[in-house]
Amino acid sequence: MFPSDNLMELLLMIDAAKRASASYITAVIPYFGLARQDRKDKPRVSIGSKLVAELLTAAGANRIVTMDLHADQIQGFFDIPVDHLSSTAIYVPYIEENLDLSNVIFASPDVGSTKRNRKYAMHFNTELVICDKYRKKANEIAEMTVIGDVTGKDVIMIDDLVDTGNTLANAANLMKQKGAKTVRAFCTHPVLSGKAYETIENSALEEIVVTDTIPLKRESPKIRVLSSAKLFARAIRNTHEHRSISSLFINN
């Protein structure tokens, strides 16, 4: 089944519910596809995430529940409420319970995820470093540098998704060369296309922690999956009972 098949099935289900006189329709979308097409960055390209937002609204959805959009401003593409859940509610307890925080430093694998990593650095009262990358074309990194000192540190990288794994692998390898003690990554959506599994397994990453918003194609000794079911279940219940969604967030 192609990703577009899942979207079409969702649209048909929304339309069927609407035609069956449903009074309120909430679409729960753990991974919002086409989220990286959030702007027109070159001529003659579509803004896919805006198109999907319009399709969901036209089909009859009254509310959207999703997690870790590639860009927060995608919420503005909708004219209906969007509950944008954060994986911090999953990752922060895991980090606190399973990792030694005495030597931790957070690192942004690229400039675009700096804001996301800064929130974690502020929450854990630690420092932040940034990996600056330059691409010549999509999914191919030409050059990468580390801004900050990772010598002797246990590095944690946070990102919304992992696709080919090249950015994370290159960042991990570079930080190891710069003297990092360990490097691990937390990425919400495991797209893992192409040779991503091999790239991750052959990299300097200790592990990469993901959620189950997208099923893994196969198991990997370096990939750990955490369940997002409880977070979505709470959001669905709070929505149904007209209770606060913000209570599910971990604020700095």
- Give how far Cα 239 sits from Cα of 4, 40, 57, 92, 229, Å: 27, 33, 18, 23, 15
Of 168, 172, 182, 191, nearest to 32 (Cα)?
191
Say which of 50, 119, 133, 153 is annotated catalytic: 133
d(CA 159, CA 55): 27
Tokens in use for 161? 């998704």
Phi, psi dihedral angles at 129 (to 5 degrees): -120, 160
Q: How far apart are CA 95 and CA 23, in angstroms?
A: 41
Q: Is 133 a catalytic residue?
A: yes
Catalytic residue numbers read: 133
